[in-house]
Amino acid sequence: MKLLNGINSNKKSCQQGNGDLISDEKLTALVVDSDIICQVLEKAILESQGIQAQVVGSGRDAIDLLASGVNFDLIIIAMVLPIMNGVETTRQIRAMGIRSKMLGVTACSYERERRAFLDAGVDEFIEKPLTPQKLASVLREIRNA
């Protein structure tokens, strides 16, 4: 019976041949982007990777959702957002004590935007469009944490 209890842990996992950790516990992601096409694309990419994704269209909506106690493994946040931009939204999320992996995305890859996002608290910065290849290393880090 002890053996069965050990097998039935909350986070069941095994390793693939390439060393990546595979878990049957779904990762969760929040996409914060005001562009409908980007929302659909980013959610589809995440879901194709087995990630449960939720989408909001503004920084304010993201703050409100996170303040309600909902947790995410990954937050993907666009630079250009209504009400407050991605940098300010990131600052407020970090000020709330949220430690989720954060990925800043923007259509422009100017160094000053990248630096502003990183200074605000994103863990990584990626130029749009988001692709499975660009997302792969971030997901590997989260799954292996």
Distance (Å, whole) CA 37 – CA 42: 9
Does pTM surpass 0.75?
Answer: yes
Residue 17 lies in a domain: no
Distance (Å, whole) CA 128 – CA 103: 11
Residue 5 lies in a domain: no
Q: Residue 38 maps to which CATH number?
A: 3.40.50.2300
| 79-89 confidence digits (pLDDT tens) | 999 999 999 99
Cα R_g (the chain), whole angstroms: 16
Residue 6 lies in a domain: no
Query: Can you give the residue range of the structural domain that contains 105?
Result: 26-144
Residue 7 lies in a domain: no
CA distances from 19 to 9, 84, 93, 107, 144 (A): 21, 40, 32, 33, 10
Residue 14 lies in a domain: no
Q: How many domains does the chain have?
A: 1
User: How high is the pLDDT of residue 16?
Assistant: 42
Residue 91 lies in a domain: yes
Residue 8 lies in a domain: no
Distance (Å, whole) CA 5 – CA 144: 23
Q: Which amino acid, 79?
A: M
* Residue 12, pLDDT above cutoff 80: no
